[in-house]
Amino acid sequence: MRGVGGYYVTADVGKEHALAAVRHTIAECEVFYLEVLDSGYCALLATNGKWVSSEQNQGDRLIANRDEISTWERFALFPLGGDTFALRTSNGKFVAPASDAYGPLFGLREEIGEWEAFTIQTFEPVAVAP
C-alpha cells in the first residue's frame, strides 16, 4: 500500500509492528496479504504472521499484532477508482497517516479526503498466508 504522499506502508516500525507510511521502496515488511471477507470487508496480514488491528486502546493506531481476525481487524474497503482505496476501521473512521502524507497510521478521520487514499499494488502470493 502506498499513501498519496508517495510513502509505502510498513509494519516494521518498532517492536510493536505499528503500521506507518514511511518507506520509499518495497521490501518484505511493506508486503501485506489482503484477505477478502464478507460484505465489502477485508483483513490485512503482515509478514510477521499477525493480522493488522485498529487498536482502540491505543488511539486507533494500526498495529500488526493479532493472531486472529475479530472486530478490530476488519476494515471496510472503499474503492476510489483504479487501484486506489480508502480503509474504514471498526470505529467508523478512515485510516490516514498522522501527519497527512507521512507517519504512523491511525483510524481517526471522519471523511475520505486526499490523505485517506491508498494505492494497492497486487503481486503473486508469496508472503505469509493464513
CA-CA distances (angstroms) from residue 78 to 25, 101, 112, 118, 127? Answer: 25, 19, 9, 10, 24
Spatial distance between the Cα atoms of 59 and 80, rounded to a whole number of angstroms: 26
The pTM score is 0.89
Domains of the chain listed by start with CATH number: 2-119 (2.80.10.50)
Q: Per-residue confidence of the chain (130 residues) as pLDDT tens digits?
A: 999 889 999 998 667 899 999 999 999 899 999 999 998 899 999 999 999 999 988 889 999 999 999 999 999 999 999 999 999 999 999 999 988 778 999 999 999 999 999 998 876 655 455 5
Give pLDDT, residue 125: 57
Give pLDDT, residue 99: 83
